[in-house]
Structure 1
Amino acid sequence: MIRGARPTIRGIILFVAGAVLAGIAGAIGEPDLMWLGLFLCVLPLLSLVVVVALQPRLEYARSLNPAQLPVGERLEVVVRLRNVYPLAATTLELHDAAPVSLGGGARFVVARAFGRWDQAVRYGIQTEQRGRFLVGPLTARVGDPLGLATSRVHPRGEESLLRVTPKLWPLTEAKRGLGVGATGEAAPQRIGQAGQDDVLVREHRHGDDIRRIHWRMSAKQGELMVRLEEHPWDPSALIITDTRRLAHVGEGPSSSLEWTISAAASVAVKLSDDRYRIVVAGGSGTIYQPHQLTGVAQRQGLIDAFTDIGASDERELAAILAESESLDATGSLIVFSGQLSVQDAATLTSMGLRMAKPSAIVPDAGAWGLRSAEHGDAVRLLRASGWAVEQYGPGEHMPTVWARLMVRQAAA
């Protein structure tokens, strides 16, 4: 696609100078100077004709390497440009557009003579913001060799999608007790190899239905054993990610909100790799549900969900209960929060009553400059209710915080 040609500032100045010179020469009777002036006037017009007549026909293909990467890392963009019109003779100034958060794109110049040609141009992009971004389109300004005229060309090609994910920290193995089944049972024993003996059992506890007692296994073990066939061990976890705008401090990549999202994403991906079923809830409801996905499919689904999370305008954590059906079948509860109120802590405490070893990672009030004493009261309420609570500071290394939380989990 070609936009209308127009003279450059140099072309305009040359045209005006030629017109003035021709006018003065005509007034004083100097034909040679008048011809020179007319030539100077015609030259920018000829350049306009050349720019229009010798337009290149450009096609391009862009590749991002990689097309998905964590925030803060750098990628390489390769633009393969091709001219399919053999008579084109222009200088090309190209601009590959990109959002401001990706640096605004890149500009480069390609100078080619007559003939068809192919050329690859490379440039780098530093990612500074999480999200999905379109790179492109590519536009070109073509000019004549003297720089007297120019026009715009839109080469044929497509924009490219770039996914900038949260930072994913490598984490240590979660404690065994972190992910138990939806029934709250620990991993049961499998006794026997085949037939009636090939069942899942555990020791009898007070309140168990007598109809679930497996008498054959009880006789072999010398104590009452309970059948668990209908409740196989199915590790699952609910991850609450506090995305409330008012609960966080700072702006951009260094904010507590971005730290919280990256930390929650890291834990979710780690547990997914360990074959947990993950449900993620945020400040305005459910963010991710597994829908029977496991393995690589669940991992990518989690990464996509955390990539798209935005700040919420909700004021209370209780808002996540609006979609309570998605929070039922979970065995473990892990909360990544911003600043908490006592009411928030009470909400979490009530949820933790039916979860296994609930835990929370919360901001360190002093390190983040939080002046609300209520946050400290909320943390103490959680700990008094049996929660394992660990605090984080600005820019703190998530694996270190996670390791401390695992120590608290083991001591709980």
Structure 2
Amino acid sequence: MTSASTDTPAAAGASGAPDVSGAADISGASGAAEYLRLDEQYGAHNYHPLPVVIAEADGARVTDVDGRHYLDFLAGYSALNFGHRHPRLVAAATEQLGRVTLTSRAFHHDQFGPFCRELAELTGTERVLPMNSGAEAVESAIKIARKWAYEVKGVPAEQAEIVVAGGGFHGRTTTIVSFSTDESARGGFGPFTPGFRITPYGDAAAVEAAISERTAAVLVEPLQGEAGVVVPPEGYLKAVRRSCDEHGALLIADEIQSGLGRTGELLACEHEGVRADLYTLGKALGGGILPVSAVVGRDDVLGVLRPGEHGSTFGGNPLACAVGREVVAMLATGEFQRRSRELGAHLHARLGELVGRGVTEVRGRGLWAGVQLAPGGPTGREVSEALAARGVLCKETQDTTLRIAPPLVIGRDELDTGLDAISEVLHQE
């Protein structure tokens, strides 16, 4: 399956690499300027977006307010795994919009039970807690793990600990940034929530050493996205699973970015044959249409929740469930996982050719890559701006890594067009 158009992006033919000084060409003296002014004047400055004002989108392509076309190589940080406005997802949302969109959980509705069953069957789990944002799913998993520790494991009240990994990204709520090692996420937001022990990502021995009789769970990303698409050493997840089993702790896998087909498997844990006790899902679960997240996992763990102890007015609403059900149906075919594997192999092969030419390393799995830029060269921001001037949209992370994650519906020709632009920008004689 490809996105609707195979035309070359309007700006993709620009040349002059490795010159990355063309950022001003993105917005230009155009209709975008007023939108950028309004954003600057009235919007909170919690993001530093590229000066591209998107007005329309379809498949793997977007169009700005001045009619310039771009390839989307970021896919909403995996929220757009199925591309922009996928016809099946739009149809599911449209049909549900004509029926009922919100009931709150004060009442039952006809989409909730089927959604929970279908998502549980897809993921091989037993129970589902629908929420909205990814951060809400992680917060929910933390609460559940603590409650399980007190009621089932027998940890003394208020003493439960959760072991986490440095460099991780799980959201931006106060509790979650309490165990972030990114000072830009933490600075000025304390005091912080206690109860977390931080270990180096990929260090299974450190996890084993950190676990105690008070440990409720180990929370880890199978691949770290915000850290630069970091793949852990082979055997890390298996060793963490073994430590959890030996010490009676839960394993929570944050698959909000890595799950639902992004890495070539339904869940990234499958690359090591590991099963978690709880998974947090989000982003792609809403099909790029609305926020949908969930905690899925063991019945005896999620079963510690009782009426009144946790909830969300919008969590599991009819519209979210209808879209989520269609996402589940699409993933159940295996088509998108296969596309990620096949196109991902091509992506990594071509990016690998850039090592030594402005790039020191390429990491990732499936249609997800972190391109580590060479010291002394252009920054990730400069490369992102130069690519936007060539009609390709992606974004830096950690200043020196280019994060590439096209929609899984992208065509091979579109993928090559974007990779050609990346090669132009990064090529150094």
TM value normalised by structure 2: 0.27
Looking at CA atoms only, which structure, 1 or 2, has the larger radius of gyration? 1
Q: Which has the higher relative contact order, 1 or 2, with Cα contacts under 8 A spaced 6 or more apart?
A: 2
Quick check: which one's strand share is greater? 1
Q: What is the TM-score of this pair, normalised by structure 1?
A: 0.28
